Amino acid sequence: MQYLEIEPDQKPKGAVRISGAKNAALPLLASTILSKNSIDIKNLPDVTDINTMLKLLGMLGAKYDKHTHHMSIDGSTIDSTKATYDIVKTMRASILTLGPLLARFGHCEVSLPGGCAIGSRPVDIHLSALEQMGAEITIQDGYILATATDGLKGATIIFDKITVTGSENIIMASSLAYGTSTLINVAKEPEVVQLCEVLSDAGVDIQGIGTDTLTIVGTGQTLLDMKDFAVIPDRIEAGTYLCVGAITNTRMSITHANSTHLEAVLRKFGEMGFGIEIEDDTITIHPTKLILPVHITTTEYPGFPTDMQAQFMAVATQSDGTSVIDERLFENRYMHVAELNRMGANIKVNGSVATIENAPHSLTGTKVMATDLRASSCLILCALMANSTTTIDRIYHLDRGYENLEQKFRDLNIEIKRKRYDKN
Ligand code: UD1
């Protein structure tokens, strides 16, 4: 089992390059199920979740040739319609194959994802939308069995809640449905927008891209002529590295980022006193005399992202005063709090609200455990401010979504060692 070891007193210097967005690449890869041709994808992040999605698509019959940051993939060869439990259990986003498989083949079997570290995370909204498009859905032995013998039918769907992968699934399903779908209360995340743009470039008539109402004219099971594209920059990786500058209160930059996707995050850095400078795709964070406390409510895009909550909590441990975070999207996304408190932070949780009390300005290095992808990065951030060595266990969570972590930190002059426990 691998772990990370981080020495204290390390300050960033220079700049780090931001990779392509995992959460954009996953639905885009799933969308190749709808394709009649091979395409090239650039700026692909080299993280395990991408390899998991490719493994799944490969099992379904897709052909691909992957290099570190680019690949070609041909979804037209897909001939299986079953996404098995052993793969879905390792990555919830496998559910993104449900909509396109059903739309293309008129039937599929996709394992239910089950629970995860940040809450129960149901897929009821995905299923209800597909039923409204004429699908018959039963749950059997932990699998979603979906059938639409004559193809999915366009429908007007009002999402009860804004769901990112739910929107993406139904956008893909609508693209190959018979007739027009109107999707209301759709997620507006940049990753959803890129999916719409790629489908639109493939010839699907999609109106309202970037708004919460989409009108999609389906092709009636005619496969799409997809075009090559490059994945948008990862706004969560970008925000996380800016937090390295923030928690250490040191000037540093990120490159190849898209600042327009980061407005809510950059505004919070400003409220905490940090200077932010944007030049083309480079964002520089400047130190402040005093790190001010912050109030954050996580919400859907363009609001403050839940995926940046843990990292800002880490920065708030260094603020002068009491910070408050209200996690509105997931019911159990404070697993990292216990670990931060073990490092000496003073954080109390009451329901969805976490209060980071008048924080100590130094934390204690100790052995801590990653609990989910973003929580792991908040532990690295705190380790940089600890007064002794920190070790972080269960780092497979990190590898799911942060590319080449040790090298990227090394680019910032920060040494993170990846070690392995002896077997005995
Ligand atoms: C996506 C992101 C994840 C991010 C989250 C919220 C990917 C691969 N993952 O996850 O990193 O944290 O958006 O920005 O893009 N819900 C239901 N029923 C459903 C679907 C969702 O009740 O059928 C609830 C969820 O439990 C949650 C809320 O809706 O409380 C939002 O979840 P959702 O947007 O669906 O998250 P994901 O798409 O799974």
Q: Which residues are catalytic?
A: 116
Go through the chain and tell me how many residues it has: 424
From the number of C-beta atoms within 10 Å of its C-beta (0-12, 13-18, 19+), residue 364 rates as: middle
| Ligand 1, atom nearest to 23 Cα | 15
Which residue among 123, 195, 329 is best mutated to probe the pocket of ligand 1, counting the most ligand atoms within 8 A of its Cβ? 329
**What do you get for the CA distance between the two ends of the chain, in Å?**
11
Whole-number Å distance, alpha carbon 320 to ligand 1 midpoint, is: 33
Counting atoms of ligand 1 from 1, which one is nearest the CA of 301? 14
User: Minimum mean pLDDT among 115-119, 141-145, 306-310, 339-343: which range?
Assistant: 115-119
**How far apart are alpha carbons 182 and 19 in whole angstroms?**
33
Given this model, what pLDDT does residue 117 score? 54
Segment 14-32 mean pLDDT: 98
Structure tokens at 135: 């699908």
pLDDT tens digits, 320-345:
999 999 999 988 789 899 999 999 99
Other CB atoms closer than 10 Å to residue 417's CB: what's the count? 12
CA of 147 to the centre of ligand 1 (A): 24
Amino acid at 46: D
What pLDDT is recorded for position 374? 80
**For residue range 220-236, what is the model confidence (pLDDT) as tens digits?**
999 999 999 999 999 99
Whole-number mean pLDDT of the chain?
94
According to DSSP, the residues that pair with 53 across neighbouring strands are none
Q: What is the pLDDT of residue 120?
A: 59
Mean pLDDT of 241-258: 98
Whole-angstrom CA distances from 77 to 17, 36, 95, 212, 215 are 35, 8, 20, 33, 29
Q: What pLDDT was estimated at residue 110?
A: 96
d(CA 135, CA 128): 9
Name every protein residue with a CB atom under 6 angstroms from any ligand 1 atom. 23, 26, 93, 119, 121-126, 161, 163-166, 305-307, 329-330
CB atoms within 10 A of CB 139: 10
pTM of the predicted model as reported, rounded to 2 decimal places: 0.96
C-beta separation of 234 from 20 below 8 A = yes
pLDDT at position 211 over 70: yes
What is residue 122's predicted lDDT score, i.e. its pLDDT?
86
Residues with Cβ within 8 Å of residue 361, at least 6 apart in sequence: 318
1 exposure class (CB count in 10 Å sphere: 0-12, 13-18, 19+):
exposed
DSSP 35: B
pLDDT tens, residue by residue, 173-192? 999 999 999 999 999 999 99
* DSSP code for 77: G
pLDDT at 300: 97
pLDDT of residue 421: 85
